[in-house]
Amino acid sequence: MTSENKICFQHGVRDGCPIALGYFAVAFTLGIAARNAGLSALQALIASALNNASAGEYAGFALIAAGSTYLETAVMTLVVNARYLLMSCALSQKMKPGTPLRHRMLIAYDVTDEIFGICVAQPGYLNPWYAYGAIAVAIPGWALGTYFGVIMGNVLPTRIVSALSVGLYGMFLAIIIPPARKNRVIAGVVAAGFAASYLVNRLPLFDGLSTGVKTIILTIVLALMAAVLFPTDIVNTEEKKEEEKRNGA
């Protein structure tokens, strides 16, 4: 590991620690769902280590509890987690051309909402080792939270478990507010996202769509509009930085 990669990894760990703490707290409720579905603490731990998605795991545990088939569980998990395909496409554009496939596949393994947020917010190209640092602490936080959630079961009061879930909302705000304050375009897209999400959930026209489908539609439409109206040239930005370094040297 080069010194640059080591620094990026350390920064990823630093930014991933709050995410890991939030995951640990929220995964308690996921552990309770796993316990109600008949899974042991070890089984829940493995499930969370391999499937880092709250909605997808909730759906999977609910189907397990209902006695669904493997195929039904797999299809439902794929549909609920389909939004991560869009996030992966966005991150692929953040990586430097020529990045080895192994790095792309390792990052794709844990493209969660929060990790995607901090990775896509990195200036210029994304160094894979930054994502590795965040993943290195986020996955254990999520898996261990599920594990201890199964062990604790329903011992903790419901209000306390619900209060712990608020941590993720705080992390979302921490991800979007700083860049929104610096860039009016980002602030406008964020505001449009809030407004559009509210309307989609209120209008009867969209009542037949699941939450996951609504999220996918909004993501595609808003991202497409922002890309067309306010394009960003990452390559030219990187070239300018390299030129400034050479001139400074």
Interior/surface letters 212-249, b for 16+ CB within 10 angstroms, e for the rest: bbbbbebeeebeeebeeeeeeeeeeeeeeeeeeeeeee
What pLDDT score does 129 carry?
Answer: 93
Tokens matching residue 2: 């080069």
What pLDDT score does 140 carry?
Answer: 92
pTM of the model: 0.65
What pLDDT score does 197 carry?
Answer: 85
pLDDT in tens, the chain (249 residues): 788 889 999 999 999 998 898 888 878 878 888 888 888 889 999 999 988 887 778 878 888 887 878 887 887 788 778 778 888 888 888 888 888 899 999 888 888 888 988 888 888 888 999 999 999 999 999 999 889 888 876 666 767 656 655 655 665 676 678 778 888 888 888 888 889 888 888 888 888 776 656 766 787 788 788 878 877 654 445 445 555 555 555
Domain locations along the chain: 3-167, 183-236
What pLDDT score does 132 carry?
Answer: 93
Contact 198, 68 (CB under 8 A): no
